[in-house]
Amino acid sequence: MTSNAHPVRKDSRPIVLIDQEDQDDQWEGATETSPLVGESSNSNSSASNSDGVTESNGNAKGQGSWISHEDFAGFPWWRRPSVRPLGADNDLCTSAPVQKQVAVFTLVLSALTGALSAITAPKVGSLSDRYGRKRLMVMASCGGLINECITILAAKFPDVVGYHWLLLGAFFDGITGSFTAGSILSHSYTSDCAAPSRRGVHIGYLHACLFTGLAFGPLIAGYFVKWTGSLISIFYVVLGCHTAVILFFWFVLPESISKKRQLAAREKHRAENEATAVQLRSSLPDSVQVFLGPRAASFIDDHMGTWLPALLSANPFAPLKILVPSGRDNGPLRRNLIILSLIDTMLLSAAMGAGTVIVLYSEYMFHWDTPEASQFVSVVSLVRVAILLCILPAINYVFRVLPLRRQRQGDGNVNVVETNSGADNLDVWLLRFALLSDAVGTFGYIFVRTPELFILCGMATAFGGLASATIQSAITKHVPAHRVGSLLGAIGLLHALGRVVAPALFNGVYAGTVETFPQAFFVLLASLFGLAIFGSFFVRPHLHVKDDGYISVPVRIPGDAEDPDVMSDEEILSEALPRV
């Protein structure tokens, strides 16, 4: 059909109908499935309205038939609206510009959550020693609940709640401690309930639950999304899980620290702060007092005990002081605490940062798709779960529980109360074996070139799951029971920093070497495990903090009437751990 532009009048108003000669071929053979907007048109024609004003369709191809397209003229193609992605998989999500923005935004979210949790988690661990674990576990879970609510709102109402609101969700998640605080509190709770001889097994159960979620979580989520046909549905499931956990913590879970122990820990903490303030008030040198004059020196000396402790406690790295107890006899203990905390931080950093790179490497080397990569992660996680649920309890029973039971029967005293007396030989050798298996499996990644051997190396690294459970158990045996939360909080600070640094480091190494030597990442990871093995040989068993390791002050002022709600140090020690 061809025609010239001819005016038509209706209600004394001119209507201009335009048919362009060069577009005739475009409409020939048009069907019901033909697009409404001709994307193959290359014309840049313009039309004149009745007032003689020329209207151009801009630089967008094939968009001259609708004036609304002029609003997006000059925009890149991925920022121009289109009806094609509606109701189907959006290919724009896999485009390079979108992937770049997603990567940057995800990095910002991780950094924000990690930085805030690095500040909050140690405080939460210390507070849990004085106010109990239960309420703080609820608080840590509430941050994730708020984060999921914001995510759902951003997905359902993007015009009102933009994706930048996810930063607010990350803020609430980080300010309540995030995953780091939850891990600290759960391990502290387990330490309160489990005797030292069985503590590693119970912490291993917690880690087995975590790896079970890693094994089945992605598979269940994928099938659930496929069943419901909506990606948002999985966030509703996560929201329900957060709610159920909070209700369980608040109404069902009993508190692991008795009221007496809480009051005793608060009194000890208050007395330690007062002792620190007294030391700071009397620490002004005589030369400074002479220089400032008696009035200024007296003013500073009186107020130094008030503002200086607050300034010192505001230091974000102040919680790490529990890793370096003072005292001449605590030198080997300091070495143990520092080495164990650094090894544990390295293990968590490797788990957080290396997992994604290993999947990317397997897809690059063996051309795996998402199902094959998910199956690899599931197999390795299931092997790790089996080791933590079956092998670790068996080893603990044969080499620790049975000898201890025989010893008590031989002594005729079966009701001995266990106390924290440092890591034993089994802890040390389990740690070395787990690190060695991790190093061997990672070293194998460098040389294998077949999927079968790659999976076998992954199963070898699964024995490394013993390391983290062993360290978390062993390190709590180095300090009194009323300082377990503070110690794990300090380690949580290192974990939070590792969550920020490790992904950037590992992903950066892989991105920089994938085209030349993609195994360079595994060389770095194997070197870190080798360094950890070397450090584990400096860990000595049966070391416990001495009385002068931290500020020692009485919890009851001499001469005061005995308070039945306040416990002495001997009573704290006797009730600190359950009987076996």
In the chain, where are the structural domains located?
Answer: 6-80, 93-257+326-406+419-536, 260-316
* Average pLDDT value over all residues in the chain: 79
pLDDT at 438: 96
**Whole-structure pTM value:** 0.75
Task: Round to whole Å and give the CA distance between 447 and 442.
Answer: 10
Q: Which of 545, 278, 516 is nearest to 422 (CA)?
A: 545
At residue 294, does pLDDT exceed 50?
Answer: yes
Task: State which H helix or E strand residue 475 sits in.
Answer: helix 465-476
Q: What's the pLDDT band for 119 if we cut at 50, 70, 90?
A: very high
pLDDT tens-digit map of 214-264:
888 878 887 888 888 888 888 999 999 999 999 999 999 999 999 999 999
If phi > 0 it is left, if psi is from -120 to 50 it is alpha, else beta; for residue 223 that is alpha
| pLDDT-wise least confident of 128-137, 251-260, 296-305, 570-579 | 570-579
The backbone torsions φ and ψ at residue 132, rounded to the nearest 5 degrees and listed phi first, read: 95, 160
Task: Give me the residue label for tokens 């063996």.
Answer: 366
Task: Give me the residue label for tokens 């799951």.
Answer: 465
CA distances for 240 relative to 70, 167, 233, 235, 280, angstroms = 45, 22, 11, 9, 50
At residue 44, does pLDDT exceed 50?
Answer: no
Q: Which two tokens stand for residue 284?
A: 């002004």
Task: Round to whole Å and give the CA distance between 350 and 461.
Answer: 12
Task: Round to whole Å and give the CA distance between 460 and 384.
Answer: 9
Q: Which residue has the higher pLDDT, 34 or 174?
A: 174
pLDDT tens-digit map of 519-548:
999 999 999 999 999 999 999 999 988 654
CA distances for 404 relative to 14, 179, 476, angstroms = 102, 35, 20
pLDDT at 328: 80
Residues 6+ apart with CB under 8 A from 382: 211, 215
pLDDT tens-digit map of 401-424:
998 888 888 777 666 667 778 899
Task: Round to whole Å and give the CA distance between 30 and 382.
Answer: 55
Count of all residues that appear for the chain in the document: 580
Which CATH number does 93-257+326-406+419-536 carry? 1.20.1250.20
